[in-house]
Amino acid sequence: MVNILKTYFIIALLLFSKISAQSISALASVDSRNYLVGDYITYTLEVRSDKNIQIVSPFIRDSLKKVEIIRELVPVISEDNEVKSTTFGFIISYYDSASVNISPIAVRYKNPGESEEKVILSNPVTFTVNKVVVQQQADIKDVKDPIVIPLDWKFILLIALIGLILFAAAFYFYRRYKKKKAEQPVKKKIIRILAHTRALTALDTLEREQLWQKGRVKEYHSNITGIIRGYFEERFKLPALELTTTEQIQQLEKVSTSENILVETNQFLNNADLVKFAKFIPLPSVNEEMMKQAKDIVNKTIPKESEKIEEAMHNV
């Protein structure tokens, strides 16, 4: 009887040791500690456990609400002897300068033979997002140096042949068009719409659409800044649609006829950037002020000669 009890005791002890030996860990990390505004950040959560432990997919997105999720990576699972590793990954970004803290991730799991779920927390992750330092006195440079491509004479001859064929085709259709035009002359009156007229018409149309009143605030701010940037391109011959807000203001400072709109334009574009990139939710009064500022910017930069022409046409 004593031997039987000893045997049961040894078996129970072995089972207890096997169960207690079950291990699991969750390690969260990012690929660096310092970033610039808008950089892509790789956030990973690696869960290591014994093979027979069942891992329940963690709700990582709930803990990443502070950042912008760019893309979710496919989980990677690997096994080494009795240890299983599952790595979850996300590409995230942050559009303001700050010290960002991502809370611990709760990972649920089940031990073999148990129905009750248990939870283990990962470590918190902290990183710093810094502003991009702009040297206003420095020259504008390309992001990358031009690539030098070695000459390939066969390729050049092929391009020349294609160009010759296209030229011959264009010349043929041009002659045909001229001949047809000579047979049936048509007089066309070209009406040139001035830049400020086009911009003010677009702003009136946008105002009637009532986008921000319908909850489409980000689309409203994107459209209204697009109209003003397009107006700057046509009015001041600036590549406004390709410039950041800071670069746009720097270019406007070089235009003598834009001195009276610099402060207003800077506030206008920065407010729109907060809505488009930082998920800022403006008050209704801010949305209304954006439309007023946009129209003021256009009206304050109408060329004097255009005002005289429009006044003369109105009096006829």
DSSP annotation of 300? T
CA distances, 101 to each of 104, 124, 283 (Å):
9, 7, 28
The pLDDT score that the predictor gives to residue 20 is 39
pTM over 0.75: no
The pLDDT tens digits of the residues spanning 27-44 come to 999 999 999 998 999 999
pLDDT exceeds 90 at position 56: no
- Residue 189 pLDDT > 70: no
Q: What is the mean pLDDT of residues 261-279?
A: 82
Question: Whose CA is closest to 103, among 88, 120, 125?
Answer: 125
Crossing angle between the packed helical segments 262-277 and 217-236, to the nearest 10 degrees: 140
Question: CB neighbours (10 Å) of residue 95?
Answer: 17
User: What is the per-residue pLDDT for 312?
Assistant: 45
Cα 276 from Cα 216, distance rounded (Å)? 11
* Digit-coded pLDDT (tens) for 194-213: 889 998 999 999 889 998 89
Class of domain 23-130: mainly beta
Q: What values do phi and psi take at 42, rounded to 5? A: -95, 110
Task: Map residue 72 onto helix, strand or coil.
Answer: strand
Higher per-residue confidence, 12 vs 125: 125
195-199, 271-275, 289-293: least confidently modelled range: 271-275
Cα torsion angle, 105, 41, 36, 94, sign: negative
Q: In this predicted model, which residue has the larger pLDDT, 139 or 292? A: 292
> Where in the chain are the domains?
23-130, 195-315
Residue 130 confidence class, pLDDT cut points 50, 70, 90:
very high
Q: What percent of the chain has pLDDT over 90?
A: 14
Q: Please give the Cα distance from 181 to 56 (Å, whole number).
A: 74
What does the longest C-alpha to C-alpha distance in the chain come to? Answer: 123
Bridge pairing between strands 106-110 and 118-121: antiparallel
- Residue among 83, 107, 80, 94 at smallest CA distance from 43: 94
Condensed to tens digits (0 to 9), the pLDDT of residues 140-157 reads 666 556 776 676 788 888
Statement: residue 278 has pLDDT above 70: no
Please say whether the beta carbons of 229 and 241 come within 8 A.
yes
Q: What is the mean pLDDT of residues 72-84?
A: 87
